[in-house]
Structure 1
Amino acid sequence: MKTIENLIKNKNYTAINLGKLEELMEYSLIHKVNKQKIEGKVFLKEPTNSTGTEISFNSLAAKTEQPYFHIHYKNEETYIILKGYGFFQVDDNCFEIKEGSVIRVAPNGERGIRNDSDETMIYLVVQSKENSLEEYTTDDGKRVDFNPKW
């Protein structure tokens, strides 16, 4: 089983390294509810000390599907397909997805994903509390004078 490499941690940041995306299938975890082993998935909230989002890198072997559909109680999810193609279903709607597809699903949406490609599908999932984003991009920031060290 592959482990996350901790790069550096300080008061204002945490940096980690997962390695090459092709090596995602080397990660595994035990599902907290059904106690089944899940391969090709790594959660980032705890390793990065995140307080506002859960991000996970996920992979599906060629010609397979996530073995369950699921919902959330409070959190919406945004799926970003990085490699591969297949199908995504929310409730009764099934549609094609491919590299570059982005799908946001509300908490109550019953969701599942299938990889129809001949290669491992890699996708990112960003999970956050629905309606929690009050400000974003330039509305939540300001430029500062800083001397880069690179």
Structure 2
Amino acid sequence: MSGTNFSVVEAGSFSSLLSMSKDPIPGKNFLKEKLGLTGMEVSLNQLPEGGTVPFYHKHRENEELYLFIGGRGQFQVDGQIFEVREGTAVRVGPEGVRTLRNNGNKDLYFIVIQVQAGSLQQWVETDGVILEKPVTWSE
């Protein structure tokens, strides 16, 4: 579904990403094309128990924000290893060499948001506009 100022996709449950994902990486569902995103890339991710990202990577221009929403694992950036779990947020700059693994006893679920580093010129306090319009909902 979409309108002039919005688009909606049903991405499915996180627990079905491994079996339902048609993206090139199992367990990863990229949303840029599906939602027509113009300023970021977002992916929904499921990494099974014992799973690992089998390569290091970095970016030319984009920073990444990893939001962990279930399970636990370990993240590695520039050789530093730290624990991640539900509620952990990790920002990695473009040059940060990164990888992660699931060393927990259930699937690891996370969202990755990728955007050009240094591109944010406004945010909620400087970009948001509260409208003088009452909120209504149809039944």
Please classify the TM superposition score into its range, dividing by the shorter chain length: over 0.9
Higher strand content, 1 or 2: 1
- Could you tell me which residue of structure 2 aligns to residue 149 of structure 1? 137
TM-score under structure 2 length normalisation: 0.93
TM-score under structure 1 length normalisation: 0.86
Q: Name structure 2 gaps, 5 residues minimum.
A: none
Conserved 8 A contact 2:14-2:46: no
Q: Secondary structure at the match of 2:15?
A: helix
Alignment of 1:85-124 (within 5 A): 85-124=72-111
Q: Secondary structure at the match of 1:70?
A: coil
Conserved 8 A contact 2:72-2:84: yes
TM-superposed deviation, 1:127: 0.3
- Could you tell me which residue of structure 1 aligns to residue 22 of structure 2? 28
CA RMSD of aligned residues (A): 1.2
Q: Secondary structure at the match of 1:109?
A: coil
Structure 1 130/89 Cα, relative in aligned 2: closer, same or farther at 3 Å?
Answer: same
Q: Name structure 1 gaps, 5 residues minimum.
A: 1-7, 31-37
- Could you tell me which residue of structure 2 aligns to residue 132 of structure 1? 119
Number of residues of Structure 1 aligned to a counterpart in Structure 2: 136
Conserved 8 A contact 2:14-2:45: no
Give every structure 1 segment of 4 or more consecutive aligned residues whose post-TM-superposition deviation is greater than 2 Å: 146-150
Query: How much identity, in percent, do the aligned residues show?
Result: 34
